[in-house]
Amino acid sequence: MAKGKSKVERDGLGSSPTHLLHRALQLALDFHTEAAGPAAITQRQFTVLTAAGATEGLTQNDLVRATGIDRSTLADLVARMLTKGLLERERSTTDARANTVRVTSAGRDALAAGAGAAAAADARLLALMPPKKRDAFVKNLAALAAAADAPLEPKIKAPKTPKLRKAAAKPESKKKKKEKKPKVVV
């Protein structure tokens, strides 16, 4: 084995993409926490502020779609961020059943302060990979995120029917019939 290379486990959890993505996320969140410090906003709060700041008047459902954070976790995050004064919520002017969320000036300050930590965490994570593979890694993650945003495909697809032999597929009337000629012995 080459120096500095480790053997990748190919069975059990070491071959599970979902487990490996979860572990990579844990590492990324740890990097963000270390870069930001204990008093700063969390990575998820940074994500919510970024999404809410990018488009004014997003509903919480819009934020769920934009961030990928599940509905109940996002509701809890928004409630805590409202208490901290990072967000404001008001009734939607287009949908009386929905609330829109807006970043406050304190939220903009927290977002600006957290941008450095987010960039440092991203750089630290990418530094763990060979430089030539970093762009492909980010493109693959973007493709997975896009797939998460796409409509779900059916989980079970109907099995394909086996291909029939050409002769069997032709109707009887179109099949060429060979007539056997009697052999003539001389």
Give this prediction's pTM. Answer: 0.70
Q: Is 158 helix (H, G, I), strand (E, B) or coil?
A: coil
pLDDT tens figures, 103-114: 999 999 999 999
Q: Which CATH architecture has domain 13-149?
A: Orthogonal Bundle (1.10)
Lowest mean pLDDT among 24-38, 77-91, 172-186: 172-186
pLDDT tens figures, 63-121: 999 999 999 999 999 999 999 999 999 888 888 788 899 999 999 999 999 999 999 99
Residue 76's identity, in one-letter code, is: D
Higher pLDDT, 110 or 154: 110
Is 27:125 a contact under the CB 8 Å cutoff?
yes
Q: How far apart are CA 170 and CA 161, in angstroms?
A: 17
Domain residue limits, the chain: 13-149
Lowest mean pLDDT among 41-55, 98-112, 151-165: 151-165
